[in-house]
Structure 1
Amino acid sequence: MAAHRHASGPPANELLRECAREVVDVAEGIREVCARTSSVLFAPALTSSARRRPRTGYAARWALLRALTNRQGLGGSAIVAPDGMGRLLGAAGEALGRESLAALVAVTSLRLRIAAVLLDHPEFGHDPGMRRLTAAVTADHDREAVRALRTLFKDQGAQRALSAMAPVLAELLAIRGLLDEDPINDETAWALVAGRELTAGPVRGVSAAHPSVMDRDEGAVQAVEPSALEAQGIAAEGSLLAFLRTMDVLATDGRVLVQEVRGPDGVLRYVVEAPGTAPGRPRGDSPQDFAGAWRNLFTTDSPYTRSILLAIREHGVPRGADLALVGHGEGGTALLNLAQDDEFCRAYRVTHVVAVGSPIGDRKPADPRTWVAGITNRHDIVPVLDSRSAGPAFDPHPNRYRADYTGPDHEFPRCHLLRVYIDHLETVIPQVTQDVDQALTPYRGPVERTCVYRLKDRARPPEGYPLLTVPTSSVPTSAGPVDVPVRYYDSSAAHLCYPVDTDVARSLLPDATWMAPTRLGRRALAVLSLYEHRCTTIGPYTELGLSVVVDDLWRPHAYDLARDLLRRVDLRRTGRYVVAVAVGTQEARAVAEELWAQPAVHGSAEVALQGHELRVEAPELGLSVEGSLGPGVRCPEPDWVLYGRRGDSAVRTLVRAAGRPRVHTRPRVRLRLDGGHGPLARHLQILELDTVRPGFVLTSPRFIAHRSAGALLPR
């Protein structure tokens, strides 16, 4: 079947991109019509004619105005005028949310481009952070979109979301620029749509010629010694693979190299090697992160680029020396930025730039003699940022070389890893290696000196400061080592609290006389907790858990729960015994079972808490939750003690949180069970929670938290 599809025509993703390009042309044509119509509407000749013949002149102007502003015409914000009343009317159309027809057609093109990326990599659409961002941007919810984007930036474990989704983020930000109410963003958005050079930043229309507030720091460098193991991996002879292997030794921890190579002609030349983006959230100690990569795409001035320049100066490279720049990913982009700088190219003779897995596009170095090579795997979506179509393997331009090949590794981020590119250059495209090495002949000699420099960025408070800045330790699990306490940088939660029969609640607890459900009058309290963890130290995941509030394990007293709420969480005696939990990843399941002794199963779910509406879909688990929460009032922070059971011991886990929780006392939320047979659905059926509404609901639309490792109790 796959062979038949290939033989019958281009792949579906290429067809989508081709359609996107055609739709962009249509959008640009509509925009030109808007401009011409606006120029006629505000032409001085028509204005003076209307004054002389008001009856026909004003009727003509009214018809043009309706064509520009009517929803069935060119749209409410279609007026294009440099100043005066035309600009005011166009801004009014933006504020009223009447997008122009051209903008809506352009948005269609952007969505086609996003669909093409997700067709290549459908796993990206399953990331909860990306789902949240996509939904917020396409629905024109600016505040939610900014929160979602910040969440992705913070996610320490979301290498896919940060490094891989860069092209989709570009499209999403272009959609936001076209749909928002700020006309300043229009030109930037249209430049992103049409693939023109950007003159403003992608978010607020800030000029790209000036650093943003976050990037004012000039950076710093510090010469450091590589470890003994790293020193063994530094090549002693110059070649493309030698430079790449040396760069791979340093990984992506904020360091670059400057090497001195004695060429075949006896001339000493210099090679700068810059690794790619460090995985995870933006770092406060280094510009080599996703925030720096994003900045690199829209301006030649960025902290990473400036830091590399400082490293070259710190090394003492003499003015006029021959310089080759070799980079991977963000490092290649930063080096291309240096090669485009006139002042830099006057100080040094940049002879070669080799970018592996970088979006080089049609960037032109300041020195026309500079030889530029771009090597990209078509499955690597980071280079898609330049929006180029798949071209020939070799560019005939004498100073331009492009190798765009199809590698055997499809899954991201593996296909973007430098070591994978090195393997492909040896086995899949050895001819490319030979061609680049031939161009690098002046640098094919012994390496006489290698210096490693650590790049520094301005100091920032750690993420989650002060709550999440706690001592950590590594604990082994079946899914690999885990740092505890587990930290949650961005989550949302809804706790559905049900009064239930005390005897039924007791039947769900361990068979021990000393563990009893807390009584609220004649009833016990069962809690169905619904979490969307968008950013955690064990990766993003969803969590659905059922628990029962229990008394002090040693000295139960009446009203313990009320008194406990006034105590610090580490001094509380009551807590919630976790009866069953379902989590969205195998890593989270291993942590729940092995660290917290919770009976966890793997099951995907979609949790959406927006405003006063709650929606949960978990078809694998056989349940769903939907309804309105009603009005809510602020309440204290939702710190909790959670209990689990391991062998003959209870396991006590502390959860500390900070957010803006609210309690909803009149929720109209319903739980539906759709034939689920897992432990969670079974216990929900025993409690008959699908037949009643919760007594009250606690919600936290956005909070941070950390969970300690479970402590064994001899009971």
Structure 2
Amino acid sequence: MRADGHAPGRSTPDSQDARGLLRRCAGDVVDVAEGIRAVSARTSTALFAPPLTAAARRRPRTGLVARWALLRAVMHQRGLGGAANTTRQGMGQVLGAAGAVLGRESLAALVAVTSLRLRIAAVLAEHPEFARDPGMRRLAQAVTADRDPAAVRSLRALFRDRGAQRALSGLAPLLAELPAVRALLDEDPKNDETGRAGEGAAEAVELADQERQFIATEGSFLGFLRNIEALSTGGRILVQNVRGPDGVVRYVVQAPGLAPGHPRNDSPQDAAGAWRTPFTTDSPYIRSVLLALADYGIPRGADLALIGHGEGGLAMLNLAQDEEFCDTYRVTHVVSVGCPVGDRRPADPRTWAAGITNQHDIMPVQDGRDASSAYDPHAKSVPAGQSDPHAQHDPHARSAPRPNRYEVAYAGPTHEFPLCHMLREYIEHLRTVVPEAREAVDEALTPYRGPIVRTRAYRLKDRAHPPEGHPFLTLPTGSVPTTAGPVDVPVRYYDSSAAHLCYPVAADTARALLPDVPWLAPSRLGRRALAVLSLHEHRCSTIGPYAEIALSVLVDDLWQPRPYDIAADLLRRPDLRRTGRYVLSLAVTSEEARVVAREIWGQPAQRTTAEADLTGRKIGVRSRDLGLTVEGRIGPGVRCPQADRVRYGRRGESTVRTLVRTHGRPRLHPGTGVRLRLDTAAAEPLAGQLRRLGLDTARPLFVVACPQFLAHRSAGAVLPR
């Protein structure tokens, strides 16, 4: 406990009051914007109403004056602003297009931006560390433009950019606000593909052999959660038959949520789907689940348990509220982890509902409850007629028995988002921090504690959207086993930024850092070699979001080195290039990325902490663990070819060649404004290599920067060298 009496990581009463005030103000401002939009629609309707048109023809002197006054009210910048937000035909459509050409923004949109600024301030008041999140950073850049009209245009472009939506998908506290704001920014919502409902679809798929090893063979609460964890990055759900202690076969649906930074291809389980799920029981995600259950062949009237995490838990809660669904099946239990039950009531009053949340997890805010809700998110309740013997040990939880309701909000040891929302953290907390919650849910799920007799996975799809990254990233993939689980290759990067700092270095020094084999020699530019410090911020990839810092040296062809190959390679296709970059050191911020780099690409990766901002003209990368800082401002640049490259690593006695293909708009900049700094206690081996090459005292010759691009990295090809 802290000296002020508050648990570490919990917000103080003052910060809670400030956050609540800001959120209430944001809600009031959105209501005002909605009112302005409604007035704009009614005024536009009146402007082109047949009675007014007829009156203007009969009495032009007064009728035209009235229409002119209405037109000024709709179009003038001191009135309702730009084009009215309504269905326009004929002259109304012409005037709406004229408003767009003039760059006018409606008053409703300008007010909506103010609401979003208040909501962002509320989130940062509660979680100041969230300012480092890539999604929050991009959103803040859009809403803090110099002028409100520019902010509206930036936000509109952001909402229409599916790559940006993936980065925004981690902004759970804003999900309740974003749909309303987005609607107010959209001049013609029916034309915005992110606002479409989407077409749900489901396809039965086989589980990989390595995945089958993690699928539970006995029914239990933690077993079902581990099943969800095994599926969490694939846009799939799992349906299982369980033979209970009484011999009756029952069915369990297990649904993962939205994993931050993981693409969902054409799945409804994406950012746009996450925005829709909290507010309707007819989302593409739920329609896809219904199609999967129909294909599975669950008999009518069968007992059914729904278990989900995050967005999946929210979808299961919404499904339990569907009267038609509950008339078809008997939903006996619905359990949500990382999403509270709140005020939702299942359609069948006999359904037992449970919600388990970490108080530091900001994702549960996405369920749409406002700050004035009477529901206390820190309450722990148990089924009617039972007492909670463990409640006295939790000073932040109180008992409030409700029929068929069990909710736990605990203060877990994991504070950082999105780590505190990850299912693996919840599983560990249910084992060690709140075992009484695990025992209570297991007891409730007693009818489902038995052998699993059938398992089938379904991939959920949304045919309304093309696959993510289409057409560049729609390519054949395969599964490669690793110690962190199966990994699909090529590894695809859907939203990334990069800056490559290029330094001329002494060729002899570069050669001394390479492995002691005769066929690895640095490519020479006269008497110098070329070292590259690559900085990456991967906001969305098939192995999750992470930052990457890599030091490499350009090397010749391993078999037949030729003079000037480095220049000739610029004219060759990437897959035919002879030269490549040998990775001397690699630091990444996620365990999965470290395992993939070591086991698939043969690169000497280490896990570290780092913060990267590479989306603008100012470069900023910091790693306290490495003792490294790269910052500065890049000057004017010129377009250059795509930064496709070949990377080399070592695995045992072999060399691993990896092809990296990119698609973006890279630019070549002078490197005079960028500086690398190392602390005196900077971590090895990266710091030692940087110092030996003299990069800690030099400025890069040039910088190749790309603030947003797509990429894919092939599985490493093992060469007999």
Cα distance, 1:261 vs. partner? 5.8
Give 1:162-241 correspondences, 5 Å limit.
165-169=171-175, 171-172=177-178, 174-184=180-190, 204-206=194-196, 208=197, 212-213=198-199, 215=200, 217-220=201-204, 233-234=218-219
Cα distance in 1 for residues equivalent to 2:517 and 2:110: 65
Q: Which residue does the alignment assign to 2:713?
A: 706
Q: Which residue does the alignment assign to 1:608?
A: 614
- Residue 487 (structure 1) aligned with residue 491 (structure 2): yes
Unaligned runs of 5+ in 1: 153-160, 186-201, 236-243
Q: Which residue does the alignment assign to 1:157?
A: none
- Cα deviations by residue, 1:48-79 (Å, 9 ceiling, x for unpaired): 88778877876676566545544455433466
Q: Which residue does the alignment assign to 1:381?
A: 362
Give 1:23-172 correspondences, 5 Å limit.
23-29=26-32, 31-32=34-35, 35-36=38-39, 39=42, 42=46, 65-66=71-72, 68-77=74-83, 89=95, 92-93=98-99, 96-117=102-123, 120=126, 125-128=131-134, 131-132=137-138, 135=141, 139-140=154-155, 142=157, 146-149=161-164, 165-169=171-175, 171-172=177-178
Q: Secondary structure at the match of 2:195?
A: coil
8 Å CA contact 1:547–1:578 kept in 2: the answer is yes
Cα distance in 2 for residues equivalent to 1:316 and 1:586: 39
Q: Which residue does the alignment assign to 2:477?
A: 469
Identity %: 37
Cα distance in 2 for residues equivalent to 1:333 and 1:345: 16
Q: Which residue does the alignment assign to 2:391?
A: none
Cα distance in 2 for residues equivalent to 1:408 and 1:291: 29
Cα distance, 1:4 vs. partner? 6.6
Q: Secondary structure at the match of 1:109?
A: helix
Give 1:249-288 correspondences, 5 Å limit.
250-252=227-229, 253=231, 254-259=237-242, 272-277=252-257, 279=259, 281=262
Q: Which residue does the alignment assign to 1:10?
A: 13
Name the aligned partner's letter for residue 104 of structure 1: L
Cα distance, 1:403 vs. partner? 3.4
Cα distance in 1 for residues equivalent to 2:595 and 2:328: 56
Name the aligned partner's letter for residue 480 of structure 2: T
8 Å CA contact 1:13–1:117 kept in 2: the answer is no
Q: Which residue does the alignment assign to 1:248?
A: 225
Cα distance in 1 for residues equivalent to 2:102 and 2:206: 53
* Distance of aligned partners of 1:324 and 1:296 in 2 relative to their CA distance in 1, 3 Å threshold: same
Larger radius of gyration: 1
8 Å CA contact 2:479–2:487 kept in 1: the answer is no
Cα distance in 1 for residues equivalent to 2:193 and 2:476: 29
8 Å CA contact 2:166–2:271 kept in 1: the answer is no
- Residue 419 (structure 1) aligned with residue 427 (structure 2): yes
Q: Which residue does the alignment assign to 2:23?
A: 20
* Distance of aligned partners of 1:373 and 1:379 in 2 relative to their CA distance in 1, 3 Å threshold: farther
8 Å CA contact 1:219–1:307 kept in 2: the answer is no
8 Å CA contact 1:329–1:357 kept in 2: the answer is yes
- Cα deviations by residue, 1:216-267 (Å, 9 ceiling, x for unpaired): x2545999999899766436xxxxxxxx34533534433234456689xxx9
- Residue 358 (structure 1) aligned with residue 339 (structure 2): yes
* Distance of aligned partners of 1:94 and 1:407 in 2 relative to their CA distance in 1, 3 Å threshold: farther
- Residue 300 (structure 1) aligned with residue 282 (structure 2): yes
8 Å CA contact 2:498–2:535 kept in 1: the answer is yes
- Cα deviations by residue, 1:255-282 (Å, 9 ceiling, x for unpaired): 234456689xxx9795645344385735
Name the aligned partner's letter for residue 639 of structure 2: G
Cα distance in 1 for residues equivalent to 2:582 and 2:422: 44
Unaligned runs of 5+ in 2: 144-150, 232-236, 383-399
Cα distance in 2 for residues equivalent to 1:530 and 1:308: 44
Q: Which residue does the alignment assign to 2:457?
A: 455
Name the aligned partner's letter for residue 560 of structure 1: D
8 Å CA contact 1:167–1:381 kept in 2: the answer is yes
* Distance of aligned partners of 1:14 and 1:409 in 2 relative to their CA distance in 1, 3 Å threshold: farther
Q: Secondary structure at the match of 1:549?
A: strand
Name the aligned partner's letter for residue 101 of structure 1: L
- Residue 630 (structure 1) aligned with residue 637 (structure 2): yes
Cα distance, 1:98 vs. partner? 3.4
Q: Secondary structure at the match of 1:454?
A: strand
Q: Which residue does the alignment assign to 1:541?
A: 546
* Distance of aligned partners of 1:651 and 1:60 in 2 relative to their CA distance in 1, 3 Å threshold: farther
Name the aligned partner's letter for residue 3 of structure 1: D
Cα distance, 1:12 vs. partner? 2.0
8 Å CA contact 2:258–2:311 kept in 1: the answer is no
- Residue 532 (structure 1) aligned with residue 537 (structure 2): yes
- Residue 657 (structure 1) aligned with residue 687 (structure 2): no
- Cα deviations by residue, 1:419-468 (Å, 9 ceiling, x for unpaired): 367559965669x959x97xx7xx87697885443132379999986767
Cα distance, 1:702 vs. partner? 1.8
Cα distance in 2 for residues equivalent to 1:624 and 1:565: 28
Cα distance in 2 for residues equivalent to 1:350 and 1:713: 58
- Residue 560 (structure 1) aligned with residue 560 (structure 2): no
8 Å CA contact 2:243–2:451 kept in 1: the answer is yes
8 Å CA contact 1:551–1:573 kept in 2: the answer is yes
Cα distance, 1:656 vs. partner? 0.8
Q: Which residue does the alignment assign to 1:344?
A: 325
- Residue 403 (structure 1) aligned with residue 407 (structure 2): yes
TM-score with structure 2 length normalisation?
Answer: 0.68
The one of 671, 674, 678 equivalent to 2:673 is 671
8 Å CA contact 2:360–2:420 kept in 1: the answer is no
Q: Secondary structure at the match of 1:656?
A: strand
Q: Secondary structure at the match of 1:384?
A: helix
Cα distance, 1:510 vs. partner? 0.9
8 Å CA contact 1:371–1:399 kept in 2: the answer is no
Name the aligned partner's letter for residue 612 of structure 2: E
Cα distance in 2 for residues equivalent to 1:399 and 1:684: 69
- Cα deviations by residue, 1:454-511 (Å, 9 ceiling, x for unpaired): 132379999986767356353x6xxx7896978342444444556x4x7x44444418
* Worse-matched range after superposition: 10-19 or 596-605: 596-605
Cα distance in 2 for residues equivalent to 1:481 and 1:220: 21
Cα distance in 1 for residues equivalent to 2:675 and 2:207: 61
Cα distance in 2 for residues equivalent to 1:223 and 1:522: 54
Q: Secondary structure at the match of 2:4?
A: helix
Name the aligned partner's letter for residue 282 of structure 2: T
* Distance of aligned partners of 1:676 and 1:269 in 2 relative to their CA distance in 1, 3 Å threshold: closer
Cα distance in 2 for residues equivalent to 1:604 and 1:33: 44
Q: Secondary structure at the match of 1:623?
A: strand
8 Å CA contact 2:618–2:631 kept in 1: the answer is yes
Cα distance in 1 for residues equivalent to 2:308 and 2:186: 36
Cα distance, 1:631 vs. partner? 3.7
Cα distance, 1:627 vs. partner? 2.9
- Cα deviations by residue, 1:500-528 (Å, 9 ceiling, x for unpaired): 4x7x4444441889676544457654545
8 Å CA contact 1:76–1:99 kept in 2: the answer is yes
Tell me the matched-pair count.
Answer: 647
Q: Secondary structure at the match of 2:262?
A: coil
8 Å CA contact 2:158–2:165 kept in 1: the answer is no
Name the aligned partner's letter for residue 75 of structure 1: G
Cα distance, 1:617 vs. partner? 1.4
The Cα RMSD (Å) is 5.6
- Cα deviations by residue, 1:505-564 (Å, 9 ceiling, x for unpaired): 444441889676544457654545343333456543334445443445776543333455
Name the aligned partner's letter for residue 163 of structure 2: A
